[in-house]
Amino acid sequence: MGNGYAGKILKIDLSRKDEISTDPLDMKFAKKFLGGKGFGAKLLYDLLPPKTDPYSPKNPIMYVTGPLTGTLAPCIRYCLVTKSPLTNTFNDTYAGGDFGQELKYAGYDVVIISGKAKKPVYLQIFDDDIQIKDAQHLWGLNTYEIYDVLKSEVNEKTAKVSCIGPAGENLVKFALVDCDLHRQAGRGGAGAVMGSKNLKAVVVRGTNGISVADYDRLEKEVQKISHDMGITDKFFAPKLQAGGTPAIVDFSNEEAVLPYKNFQDQTSDIAENLNDKGQRKSFWLREYGCFACPLHCSKIGMIKKGPYKGTVCDTVEYENVGLLGTNCAVGNVDALAYSQNLCDRLGLDAITTGNIVGFTMECFEKGIITKKDLGGLDLSFGNWKNMMELINMIAYRKGIGNILAEGVMRAAKKIGKGTENFAIHIKGLESPAWAPRGTPGVGLALMTADRGGCHQRSNPVGLEVFGLAWPGGYPTERVSIKGKPDLVIWEQHHYAALYSLLMCEIFSHAGITNESYASLFSAVTGWDATYSSLLSEYGERIWNITRMFNWREGFQREHDTVPPRFKEPLPSGPAKGHKFTDEDINKMLDEYYSKRGWDEQGKPTKEKLIELGLDSMASD
């Protein structure tokens, strides 16, 4: 009887080509940390000495799968785990597509890559045949160019490829890792870590099967999920099913949580041009989805007119609508689609790129940065033609792009002149397109997220706006701070468990029930689990590991805060006038830490760590 795991961990030291080995996956370890985020968090904590430079050969980059990867379970991703060069925090970043499944079929639950190659290389993993191959001819190619070249070179059209673009080669601190075309592990600079190792790509082909404990139960649960999706009454479900994440743009704009002009406001009259209807009319041609996903939230198409005519591009996801679009006052949907495509080809995280461009536009608007500083560019808000030039400058570190390639926190420190007051980041990670003034729970979630300002750890915007009750909880009031720590803690445990199973969070808004997660896990592994145990036994344990990692890297209470802009009154919308005050921030943090069993500075107590079975961390 199987349990869903491949059963092996592959270790590769690029500094020494003969250092390729495999270890069996310890099932006690698997039962304690699940997979995905859980595996990555514990392994990174154990493998990486404190305060190690993210570009050190000692900093591993890990490809991690989970027990459900490669099975019938719908919408499964893989994750990359490393120490972030952008934030110096723990960093886990996720991608869909087919790469994770192929890695599992090759026989590996985890691939740990350390060291640094003397010259550019790529990895070829074909089941047990592991090779480190020369990649000097690939250096300089963009991500889209890599796919055709590598698949032809390895003579395996069905192989899956994960790679970096010029931004990763140039150590842009928010470089992403591209995989399977139109899928990216975007946040935190994993692509720069690959670049620092002279690792251009990983090519995988697997021929092994995945054995599960109870196939019949798994099949029935997958059928139930498809049924539940058809009858769900979740607000976002029909929108996501019909239009993908851009279908949320109208809601976000109406409720004033959509960034506009570098978060100066949170609503915009150009948003309606960029939603799912605008994109469908402009360039969408057909739907497609990730491995085993019935949702098919992505749409593929081609720009039909204008200077970017003929460009084949993917859905402009909600986050990129908000950051490359409204945050930069770009209302031209074709230009927006091209800017996302450009980021993907160059290997740039589009969320951070949209933030850094919006920041630069505000600097230009205020006269802090001039045309001379920008090499002659007029970077007024909405100037999408020159925005493309700036994106290229960042990827290649040309001119002012060399400063901006460091991320908004470091760029503001370098530029000075009060720019720190409108540099929108938390712990160095630029904020997502969920502007939090008017939703204090979202603010607390961003403050306490383990990789900096991130919406994928907790994002209770819908619960706050609609005043809904969270599972096992109570209804929330939109602008009140009451009860928000409980809500955020529940969501953080929920997402930590999901990302350890490696299920897509988008799918969780489209009709799957919380109980189905536990049922899928039990059917695959044969280990009894309930949704409650996924939260309390796994989610909480994993969240405390990442907190301990960040604590030993120097992150404490003072870093759990919002940028100065969010302490300014919101100019418009249903929550007009709302802002974050130091008093409210401290009240929420006090309650949040207390309920977590952490001390007043936000460090997990020895008692809490021992309670969670993390005894070895209790003395750190």
CATH number for the segment(s) 440-561+581-617: 1.10.599.10
Starting at the edge strand found earlier in the chain, the sheet holding 298-302 runs 284-288, 298-302, 312-314
Q: How far apart are CA 482 and CA 592, in angstroms?
A: 11
Residues of the chain with pLDDT under 50: none
At 148 the pLDDT is: 85
Strand partners for 24: 8
> Residue 231: what pLDDT?
66
Reference 565, options 331, 328, 256, 261; nearest CA is 261
d(CA 231, CA 396): 49
Question: Are the C-beta atoms of residues 202 and 123 closer than 8 Å to each other?
Answer: yes
pLDDT at 586: 98
SS3 230: helix
* CATH code for the domain defined by 8-205: 3.60.9.10
For the chain, the domains span 8-205, 258-430, 440-561+581-617
Other C-beta atoms within 10 Å of 500: how many? Answer: 28
pTM exceeds 0.85: yes
Q: What is the enclosing helix (H) or strand (E) of 581?
A: none
CA distances to 324, 405, 406 from 579, rounded to whole Å, are: 24, 30, 28
Per-residue model confidence as pLDDT tens digits over 94-143: 998 889 999 999 999 999 999 999 999 999 999 999 999 999 999 999 99
- Find, among 299, 308, 307, 306, the residue nearest to 280 by Cα: 299
Cβ atoms of 413 and 454 within 8 Å: the answer is no
91 in Cβ contact with 187 (< 8 Å): yes
Looking at CATH, the fold of the domain delimited by 258-430 is given as: 1.10.569
**Predicted pLDDT of residue 202:** 97
pLDDT attached to residue 470: 81
Only one residue has tokens 């890792």, namely 177
* DSSP-based three-state secondary structure for 55: coil
Q: Which residues pair with 278 in a beta bridge?
A: none
pLDDT tens, 465-488?
A: 988 888 877 888 999 999 999 999
Contact 24, 2 (CB under 8 A): no
